[in-house]
Amino acid sequence: MVSQQEFVKALDLEVISPAREREMPIEVADVCRPGIQFAGYFDVFANARPQVIGKTEMAYLMSLPEAVRSERLRRYFSYDIPCIVIARGMECPQALLEQARENDVPVYGTQAETSMFTGKAIAFLSEALAPRVTQHGVLVDVFGVGVLITGESGVGKSECALELIKRGHQLVADDVVDIARVGRKLRGESPEIVRDFMELRGIGIVDIKLIFGIGAIMRRKTIDMVIHLELWIPGKDYDRLGTKDATMDILGVAVPLINVPVRSGRNLAMIVEIAARNWRLKNEGYNAVNELDRRLGEMYGMQHPHDE
């Protein structure tokens, strides 16, 4: 839920008329422009959303005969409304203000154009009301790809991320990643209290921003793929061709997952870089396995077993 104070502060709103006793929190990541309600249609009314009155709604409301306007406003305010925002710096009509005060509905004002304010409000509410989860791991930006590195404690996640930072990539979060689902996208960031810090066994806590500079960190990043590090198990059948498309479910979103076995001598940072580049190629329609199959098919004049 988003409180009225948070809404006002985030969107820099002027308080025209505050709520006196009842303060309805905002629970929907969208807004309503009530032009059709002012026209008298209430069968479908998104009253739980913040109500945004722009130039069109205001012009129509003020064009109504006084008796009709009063009747429409009474019916309009008979619904539970969290708040009203009047855009473009327009003056709040007295009839609307009186009804708002009578029903204890706060009225705010903004100088922004209606469409610009609407977009900004929806973006803020979508982020603030997004489903969230905390994930153990390290989130880094590698060639513009958001890579969430997971694995058991001590497997080398932070060391791998440190090497990636040395190679010019950016740290988003170490050890604890706060993840929010906005639409079908996952956005990860670090909890504020541990932001920019990394824990390295044997050394302790280090400040990445101070050591490597502000260019080595990023505040938040969309999570595009997960790389899970696990200690090498002799005899285990690991995917050697990349034909197994595994995913990890995070907040209902299936994220591509790669399991990487860890053993002495493996350059994990380079593997993560290759995985990120390969993910981008696949997104652009190129698949190395399919290309190899095609070449083998041309060479032997038959379908390769991978396509069966």
d(CA 179, CA 175): 13
- Give me the residues paired with residue 234 across strands: none
The three-point CA angle 12-37-61 to 5° equals 75
Q: How do beta strands 107-109 and 84-86 pair?
A: parallel
Query: Active-site residues: which are they?
Result: 136, 157, 175, 240
CB 269 within 8 A of CB 277: no
Distances from the Cα of 199 to the Cα of 148, 158, 207, angstroms: 16, 7, 9
Q: Which residues contact 51 (CB under 8 A, 6 or more apart)?
A: 31, 32, 33, 34, 81, 82, 83, 84, 85
Alpha carbon separation from 53 to 15, 266, 269 (Å, rounded): 15, 60, 52
